[in-house]
Chains A and B, each alone.
Chain A
Amino acid sequence: MNNAVDLSVISSKPDSAAFVDVCNLSFSYGDDLVLENVCLTVEGSGKIIGIFGPNGGGKTTFLKCLLGLLKPVSGSVRLFGLEPKNARKYVGYIPQVSKFDFDFPINVLQVVLMGRLSSTGLFKRYSKKDYEIAEDCLKKVGIWDLRDRQIGQLSGGQRQRAFIARALATKPKLLLMDEPNTGLDAFMQADLYKLLKELKKEMAIILVSHDMGAIFHHVDDLACLRRTIHFHDPKTLSRPDFLKEFGCSVDQAIISLTNHTEIQNSHVHAHSHSNAHVQSNSNAHVNFNSHSENSKNQNQECSCETICEEVCK
């Protein structure tokens, strides 16, 4: 179980409550148990946590539980010590970009202003302050000059930024992002993660994706969600540790990727304040298939999607 040193919280939040405290969360649609005893703790800002898993693994359900859109069958979800519904002011949500109707008659600025809905309240118009905040957020993500464009006229990467700006407009302490890589090419992804690395100084970021290869290089903590949750720390654990810890080759696949990224991440790692504490729950069972050392090398060569699927099988 991955220990993660419990460092002092450097967050600016006066409240000492953990940003995210999910305890033994279970959820089912009818008879179908989608989430089982999922635990996740994020103590403070400064980390990007990647949750990946196959389609139908419960990622979206988990996000919806965090957002308070779904009520867990058992277990508890606390954000900043509050019920998710009451903590929405501190949470920025970036949905999957692909679900929108991009023909909708709305411009970028209006989209970003939606982020102020939670603070402005019913019946009132957006105030001058709301517009100022929206301007700040658009400048932060670098698309202020596109503010008057209709949302469908942006490129995939710019749209993504518009929705990040909308989430930032809520002034969040926690950023939840669903499938951040959808529709982005490698360059745009690199841009996106550069931005997220900047943002994580002020907030905790949780990414949810089925594409482990793509998020893997950029997250500080990694969890696999397939009904149960299972944690990995992509940086601090060495391969032997991993083997000892999990004793399965899927992690070798991850390690092989880790070693690959270690050099480029080492600088970041040296300075990163590890104050996100992830705990794996004892019920989490690892039912990965065993592979030989040889297959590791094969894994290294095969596509990241395959690895992702393998990990979760």
Chain B
Amino acid sequence: MIAFFDFIESLQYGFMQNAVAATLLTCIACGIIGVFVVTKKIVSLTGGISHASFGGVGLSYFLGLDPLLGLLPFSILSAIVLGFVSKKTKVSEDTAIGILWSLGVAAGVIFIYLTPGYAPDLMTYLFGNILTVPSSDIYLMVAIDLIIIFVVLLLFKEFVALCFDEEYTEVSGLPSNALYIILLCLIALSVVAMIKVVGMILIIAMLTIPASISRKFTYDIRKMIVLSSIIGMILGFSGLALSYIFDMPSGAMIIICMGFVYLIISGLFSLKEKYLRKNPKKINKEPN
């Protein structure tokens, strides 16, 4: 209890405010993008993008730049390469992901090895460290959120069509490949926003868990987007609080928190299903 008040008290410090802001902002991005990732079933592709972008982090260290400067073009580039390779060549998407995933990490490792001295906040990019987020990163996250919201509002019906039935989208005369690559670029942007919060290794969980939870509550993709953003924000904030209270790594704690809630909710839903199966009369008319 005392620890909890400690946490409340800590919110007056600038670094904590930044941490909270960063968590909430990234959860908006992954709430929106996560829904498309989950419904289009491109979770592993998202993992590919996030890991491949590690090459960008390594390159920035090597060149002595801010890692985010290398990260942004690298993740966008890997998104475009993945989209292009899977749509335009005969290489299967699966294979392309596998290659790019490890190629990016390998490049990052080589670059960091070549960099003289020790890379102090390397772990930040691997596992996230929300307490070190500077204000400049907050502005970047706001910008990324705005871009994502703007593009999704603009292309909402196209993205839904793309995720549901890509072939029909093309038959309808829409540039389905271009739309797909735009969606991948938005994923890449959300990766950039998330990397300081949970780190590149844990990004997939942050994109998929809130969206999967919200999917259990609604069949309306709009509501799903709003709901998964809200769920993400609540769980992200709780994870951050827990990590502060128990003095644990923040990124990992956020993911543990999300995963735990997901398991509980899945369990509850399957219990409910079992109950309804045994008592068929109690099934009400509402969907599911």
Interface of A is mostly: mixed
Partner of A105, one of B158, B167, B224: B224
Which A residues from 66 to 121 make CB contacts under 8 A with B? 67-69, 85, 88-89, 91, 93, 95, 100-101, 104-107, 110-111, 113-115, 117-118, 120
Partner of B163, one of A104, A115, A123: A104
Query: In the bound complex, how far is the Cα of B215 from the Cα of A95, in angstroms?
Result: 26
Partner of B172, one of A100, A114, A123, A125: A114
By a CB distance below 8 angstroms, the chain B residues around A107 are 219-220
Which B residues from 245 to 287 make CB contacts under 8 A with A? 287
Query: In the bound complex, how far is the Cα of B216 from the Cα of A45, in angstroms?
Result: 45
By a CB distance below 8 angstroms, the chain B residues around A100 are 164-165
Taking the complex as formed, is B99 at the interface, i.e. its CB lies under 8 A from any CB of chain A?
no
Partner of B174, one of A68, A106, A115, A117: A117
The smallest C-beta distance from A105 to any residue of chain B, in angstroms, reads 5
Partner of A104, one of B154, B157, B164, B174: B164
Query: In the bound complex, how far is the Cα of B218 from the Cα of A150, in angstroms?
Result: 10
Taking the complex as formed, is B122 at the interface, i.e. its CB lies under 8 A from any CB of chain A?
no
Query: In the bound complex, how far is the Cα of B156 from the Cα of A106, in angstroms?
Result: 13
The smallest C-beta distance from B237 to any residue of chain A, in angstroms, reads 25
Report whether A125 and B157 are in contact in the complex, using a CB–CB cutoff of 8 Å.
yes
Listed residue (A105, A118, A123) with the most chain B CB atoms within 10 angstroms of its CB: A105
* Contact mask for chain B residues 17-44; partner A; CB cutoff 8 A; 1 contact, 0 none: 0000000000000000000000101000
Query: In the bound complex, how far is the Cα of B172 from the Cα of A93, in angstroms?
Result: 9
Report whether A118 and B163 are in contact in the complex, using a CB–CB cutoff of 8 Å.
no
The smallest C-beta distance from B182 to any residue of chain A, in angstroms, reads 11
Report whether B158 and A122 are in contact in the complex, using a CB–CB cutoff of 8 Å.
yes
Report whether B163 and A93 are in contact in the complex, using a CB–CB cutoff of 8 Å.
no
Taking the complex as formed, is B173 at the interface, i.e. its CB lies under 8 A from any CB of chain A?
yes
Taking the complex as formed, is A155 at the interface, i.e. its CB lies under 8 A from any CB of chain B?
no
- Closest B residue, CB atoms, query A126: B157
Taking the complex as formed, is B6 at the interface, i.e. its CB lies under 8 A from any CB of chain A?
no
Count how many chain B residues have C-beta atoms less than 8 Å from C-beta atoms of the other chain.
27
Which B residues from 194 to 228 make CB contacts under 8 A with A? 215, 218-221, 224
Partner of A114, one of B156, B164, B215, B219: B164
The smallest C-beta distance from B67 to any residue of chain A, in angstroms, reads 35
Count how many chain A residues have C-beta atoms less than 8 Å from C-beta atoms of the other chain.
32
Query: In the bound complex, how far is the Cα of B70 from the Cα of A71, in angstroms?
Result: 40
Taking the complex as formed, is B121 at the interface, i.e. its CB lies under 8 A from any CB of chain A?
no
By a CB distance below 8 angstroms, the chain B residues around A110 are 160
If A105-B39, A114-B165 touch, whether A69 touches B171 (CB-CB below 8 Å) is: yes
By a CB distance below 8 angstroms, the chain A residues around B165 are 95, 100, 114
Listed residue (A106, A149, A166) with the most chain B CB atoms within 10 angstroms of its CB: A106
If A104-B39, A105-B215 touch, whether A93 touches B168 (CB-CB below 8 Å) is: yes
Query: In the bound complex, how far is the Cα of B51 from the Cα of A52, in angstroms?
Result: 47
Partner of A85, one of B154, B157, B169, B173: B173
Taking the complex as formed, is B155 at the interface, i.e. its CB lies under 8 A from any CB of chain A?
yes
By a CB distance below 8 angstroms, the chain B residues around A106 are 160, 164, 219, 221
The smallest C-beta distance from A71 to any residue of chain B, in angstroms, reads 13
Report whether A153 and B163 are in contact in the complex, using a CB–CB cutoff of 8 Å.
no
By a CB distance below 8 angstroms, the chain A residues around B155 are 122-123
By a CB distance below 8 angstroms, the chain B residues around A68 are 171
Query: In the bound complex, how far is the Cα of B157 from the Cα of A115, in angstroms?
Result: 12
By a CB distance below 8 angstroms, the chain B residues around A114 are 161, 164-165, 168-169, 172
By a CB distance below 8 angstroms, the chain A residues around B163 are 104
By a CB distance below 8 angstroms, the chain A residues around B164 are 100-101, 104, 106, 111, 114
Partner of A95, one of B161, B167, B221: B167
Query: In the bound complex, how far is the Cα of B161 from the Cα of A164, in angstroms?
Result: 16
> Can you list 12 pairs linking A and B with CB atoms under 8 Å apart?
A68-B171, A95-B168, A101-B39, A104-B164, A113-B157, A114-B172, A117-B158, A117-B169, A122-B158, A122-B174, A153-B287, A166-B168
10 A-B pairs with least C-beta separation: A117-B172, A150-B219, A118-B172, A105-B221, A105-B219, A88-B173, A118-B173, A93-B171, A114-B161, A104-B164
